[in-house]
Chains A and B, each alone.
Chain A
Amino acid sequence: TQLLEQSPQFLSIQEGENLTVYCNSSSVFSSLQWYRQEPGEGPVLLVTVVTGGEVKKLKRLTFQFGDARKDSSLHITAAQTGDTGLYLCAGDWDTNAGKSTFGDGTTLTVKP
């Protein structure tokens, strides 16, 4: 069973601060996704990374995929209260399987 570890599990910061969330596996991902999930709702895809070393930006969010495709990070610059939520990474290890294995998630709280 391939495992995917996210850290930290909980993060509480003040508005305006920067933060980084990490996602790691011992196996090489074929692709990795970052999602945001609000309570009682389904995960909403933020980004998919496929190429080792890839960096994608979505406004104040920067996503990096490790060169070896075993790890990824999500960095938020100047966090806002609206960024509060559960951030999930999910990885695919088999390009033909079509399934994703999710991490436990990072619960982010941004305080005003």
Chain B
Amino acid sequence: AQSVAQPEDQVNVAEGNPLTVKCTYSVSGNPYLFWYVQYPNRGLQFLLKYITGDNLVKGSYGFEAEFNKSQTSFHLKKPSALVSDSALYFCAVTGDTGFQKLVFGTGTRLLVSP
């Protein structure tokens, strides 16, 4: 069965500094990986996804994620954080073998201070 781990409950970063939100996964077959963001009292918004191809995926709002097959990781990154990036971030994975559900991590709260 597939699984996702987001090892940090919260990440704190100063505005203007680079940020990384970590995600590792386990899946049967080739992974399909997603990042979503949730602002307070809102649904999840899609940020980016990896299916195949280039290991560096670019997404919305200046975010990008790096797929690393050997480390089974898909960390979310941004070169320069904004206060408005403060939100809850979810990593999710499914696999291309049979019908597999999308499994979400427990979420990482990003707090960007001015």
Q: Do A and B come from one complex?
A: no
